[in-house]
Structure 1
Amino acid sequence: MIDKILVIYNDNRKVYGYRRIKISLRRIFGINVNHKKVLRLMQKSKTTY
Protein backbone atom coordinates (compact mmCIF):
# COMPACT_ATOMS: atom_id res chain seq x y z
CA MET A 1 0.00 0.00 0.00
CA ILE A 2 2.92 2.36 0.63
CA ASP A 3 3.71 2.36 -3.09
CA LYS A 4 0.17 3.59 -3.86
CA ILE A 5 0.47 6.28 -1.19
CA LEU A 6 3.74 7.48 -2.72
CA VAL A 7 2.19 7.55 -6.21
CA ILE A 8 -0.65 9.78 -4.98
CA TYR A 9 1.73 11.94 -2.94
CA ASN A 10 4.17 12.50 -5.81
CA ASP A 11 1.48 12.98 -8.48
CA ASN A 12 -0.01 15.81 -6.44
CA ARG A 13 3.24 17.79 -6.08
CA LYS A 14 3.79 16.56 -2.52
CA VAL A 15 1.08 18.79 -1.08
CA TYR A 16 -1.49 16.13 -0.19
CA GLY A 17 -1.67 15.23 3.48
CA TYR A 18 -2.84 11.99 5.00
CA ARG A 19 -6.50 13.01 4.90
CA ARG A 20 -6.55 13.72 1.17
CA ILE A 21 -4.45 10.65 0.43
CA LYS A 22 -6.97 8.52 2.35
CA ILE A 23 -9.77 9.88 0.16
CA SER A 24 -7.71 9.35 -3.01
CA LEU A 25 -6.92 5.76 -2.06
CA ARG A 26 -10.63 5.06 -1.78
CA ARG A 27 -11.55 6.87 -5.02
CA ILE A 28 -8.72 5.69 -7.26
CA PHE A 29 -7.80 2.25 -5.95
CA GLY A 30 -10.94 1.28 -4.02
CA ILE A 31 -8.95 0.83 -0.81
CA ASN A 32 -10.82 1.85 2.32
CA VAL A 33 -8.30 2.40 5.10
CA ASN A 34 -8.24 4.31 8.37
CA HIS A 35 -6.59 7.75 8.26
CA LYS A 36 -4.37 6.79 11.19
CA LYS A 37 -2.88 3.92 9.22
CA VAL A 38 -2.20 6.23 6.26
CA LEU A 39 -0.47 8.68 8.61
CA ARG A 40 1.62 5.89 10.17
CA LEU A 41 2.73 4.61 6.76
CA MET A 42 3.59 8.12 5.58
CA GLN A 43 5.65 8.74 8.71
CA LYS A 44 7.43 5.43 8.25
CA SER A 45 8.36 6.33 4.67
CA LYS A 46 9.41 9.86 5.73
CA THR A 47 6.86 11.66 3.51
CA THR A 48 5.60 13.77 6.44
CA TYR A 49 7.38 15.58 9.21
Structure 2
Amino acid sequence: MLDAVFLAVTVALFALVALVAKGVEKLAPEGRTSPARATSPSAPAARRDGGER
Protein backbone atom coordinates (compact mmCIF):
# COMPACT_ATOMS: atom_id res chain seq x y z
CA MET A 1 0.00 0.00 0.00
CA LEU A 2 2.84 2.36 0.85
CA ASP A 3 4.35 1.69 -2.58
CA ALA A 4 1.19 2.93 -4.30
CA VAL A 5 1.18 6.09 -2.17
CA PHE A 6 4.84 6.73 -2.96
CA LEU A 7 4.18 6.24 -6.67
CA ALA A 8 1.15 8.57 -6.60
CA VAL A 9 3.09 11.27 -4.75
CA THR A 10 6.02 10.96 -7.18
CA VAL A 11 3.75 11.27 -10.22
CA ALA A 12 1.95 14.23 -8.66
CA LEU A 13 5.26 15.93 -7.90
CA PHE A 14 6.44 15.52 -11.50
CA ALA A 15 3.13 16.89 -12.77
CA LEU A 16 3.43 19.89 -10.46
CA VAL A 17 6.99 20.61 -11.64
CA ALA A 18 5.85 20.35 -15.28
CA LEU A 19 2.98 22.74 -14.60
CA VAL A 20 5.28 25.28 -12.93
CA ALA A 21 7.79 25.00 -15.79
CA LYS A 22 5.05 25.63 -18.35
CA GLY A 23 3.87 28.68 -16.41
CA VAL A 24 7.38 30.09 -16.17
CA GLU A 25 7.86 29.51 -19.88
CA LYS A 26 4.75 31.58 -20.62
CA LEU A 27 6.11 34.44 -18.50
CA ALA A 28 9.27 34.69 -20.58
CA PRO A 29 9.32 37.24 -23.40
CA GLU A 30 8.83 36.09 -26.96
CA GLY A 31 12.02 35.01 -28.65
CA ARG A 32 13.16 37.42 -31.31
CA THR A 33 14.40 35.95 -34.51
CA SER A 34 17.25 37.81 -36.11
CA PRO A 35 17.28 38.25 -39.87
CA ALA A 36 19.64 36.09 -41.83
CA ARG A 37 23.06 37.65 -42.08
CA ALA A 38 24.86 37.91 -45.37
CA THR A 39 27.73 35.49 -45.37
CA SER A 40 31.10 37.08 -45.81
CA PRO A 41 34.05 35.14 -47.15
CA SER A 42 36.23 33.52 -44.56
CA ALA A 43 39.61 35.07 -43.81
CA PRO A 44 41.72 32.40 -45.59
CA ALA A 45 39.52 32.59 -48.69
CA ALA A 46 39.76 36.38 -48.75
CA ARG A 47 43.55 36.20 -48.57
CA ARG A 48 43.69 33.61 -51.32
CA ASP A 49 41.46 35.71 -53.55
CA GLY A 50 43.47 38.88 -52.96
CA GLY A 51 41.12 40.37 -50.38
CA GLU A 52 42.05 42.40 -47.32
CA ARG A 53 44.26 40.81 -44.72
Q: Could you state the TM-score of these two structures normalised by the residue count of structure 2? A: 0.25
Q: Name the one with the larger helix percent.
A: 1
Q: Could you state the TM-score of these two structures normalised by the residue count of structure 1? A: 0.27
